[in-house]
Amino acid sequence: QLQLQESGPGLVMPSETLSLTCVVSGGSMSSGGYSWNWIRQSPGKGLEWIGYIYHSASIHYNPSLKSRVTISIDRSKNQFSLKLNSVSAADTAVYYCARERDTSGYSFDHWGQGILVTVSS
């Protein structure tokens, strides 16, 4: 049973960098046909896709966040990470990592439980 688990600080100061990690267990990230995504959810914006990484040479970001986002992968540790810099209160949200499969279209078939990140001084 594939599981994803987010971890990182729940409180980030304004203008600082938000850093989260998603550990994948019960399956290998090296299996083909999947990308690894970050999605966030806030009352104001609903569900917002942040970006995905397929492998180190294939990374795609939401243009609305592209200037502030970095997603990276460490296949040796079976995990991937999110960095969002220059955060503000608008970045307060529950952050999810999710696996996307590319069979019969693209869909998020496994999600982490989510982690609430609050941006506040």
Partner 1 sequence: DIQMTQSPSSLSASVGDRVTITCRSSQTISNYLNWYQQKLGKAPGLLIYAASSLQSGVPSRFSGGGSGTNFSLTISSLQPEDFATYYCHQSYSTPWTFGRGTRLEI
Residues binding partner 1 (CB under 8 A): 46-49, 60, 62-64, 96, 98, 100, 104-109, 111-114
Query: Residue 83 CB, nearest distance to partner 1 (Å)?
Result: 18
Is the CB of 15 or the CB of 31 nearer to partner 1? Answer: 31
How far from each other are the two terminal CA atoms of the chain, in whole angstroms? Answer: 39
Is the CB of 11 or the CB of 116 nearer to partner 1? Answer: 116
Contact 16, 9 (CB under 8 A): no
Query: Residue 112 CB, nearest distance to partner 1 (Å)?
Result: 7
Is the CB of 16 or the CB of 110 nearer to partner 1? Answer: 110
3-state SS assignment for residue 64: coil
Q: What is the DSSP letter of 45?
A: T
d(C-alpha 73, C-alpha 63), whole Å: 20
